[in-house]
Amino acid sequence: MTILRKLKGVGAAIVLGVFLTNPAIASKRTEVLVVASLHGLHKKDANYPYDRLYALVSDFKPDVVGIELRPEDIKADADYLSKSYPHEMIALRDQYSNSAVGFDWLGDEIAGGPIPDDWWTKRSKVKAIERAMNADPKMSDAESARISDAQTQLLKDATPSSLTDGRYYKLVRQERAWLARHTAHTPYKDWVRFNDARESHIDANLAKIVRSNSGRRIVFVMGADHYGFAVDSLRAGFGGKIDLQLPQ
């Protein structure tokens, strides 16, 4: 499916100021910078190359760097990580090796252990469903094409701020709703269930990291697909304690 190919792993950037009422820190502020990456698209985007992403993280002077790796993979070697994760996640893990934490989740089947070498090519049921969906002409129509085209336009000259003004998140929600409707009575429904479960696990991990690092400066790096859901979850979890700031 065209949407899935174009939507996978792209991103944007925002800054969240989160104030927690932990008596131990009193008026001390927990600052959270959420930076979303474009993964491979950073190579082509002159407005948002890898260096700009890295600068966003570095300039914030973080105490903790949360990256889109599974917690169980955070200490793995780069060769292993390169088989499952984007370049910038590995680079950030290496640069901030003493302060990096992972928040991703890729399924209960491999939770707590290493990802097998042939997982994505042969053994992952979810990946097999994705390949079947992409090859199925029924999994595309005028509405999906419209969403895909709109995404392409937004991503063409993306900047951290242009991807946080709500337009991209709106398209992500439209894409998820389209998938839910069109896969409801098909074998592809497990793809929707997986994505929903992944968002839930990511949101829970982000909240846990924030709570366990009260009063510190935290950076989260994630794709724009997750960004909107993550922000909504942080707002819901911390209410008025969140001070949201958009990048300039």
Handedness of CA 187, 188, 189, 194 (dihedral sign): positive
In DSSP terms, which residues pair with 100 in a beta bridge? 65
Q: Is 14 helix (H, G, I), strand (E, B) or coil?
A: strand
**Does residue 149 carry a pLDDT above 90?**
yes
pLDDT per position as a tens digit, 40-97: 999 999 999 999 999 999 999 999 999 999 999 999 999 999 999 999 999 999 999 9
Report, as an integer, the average pLDDT of 14-37: 60
Give the distance from CA 111 to its chain's centroid: 18
Q: Where are the alpha helices (DSSP H) in the chain?
A: 2-7, 50-60, 78-82, 87-95, 125-135, 142-156, 167-183, 189-211, 224-238
Instruction: Specify whether the CB–CB gap between 161 and 149 falls below 8 A.
Output: no
Whole-prediction pTM:
0.86
Instruction: Specify whether the CB–CB gap between 115 and 83 falls below 8 A.
Output: yes
- Write down the domain spans for the chain: 2-245
**Does residue 248 carry a pLDDT above 70?**
no
pLDDT band at 247 (very low <50, low <70, confident <90, very high): low
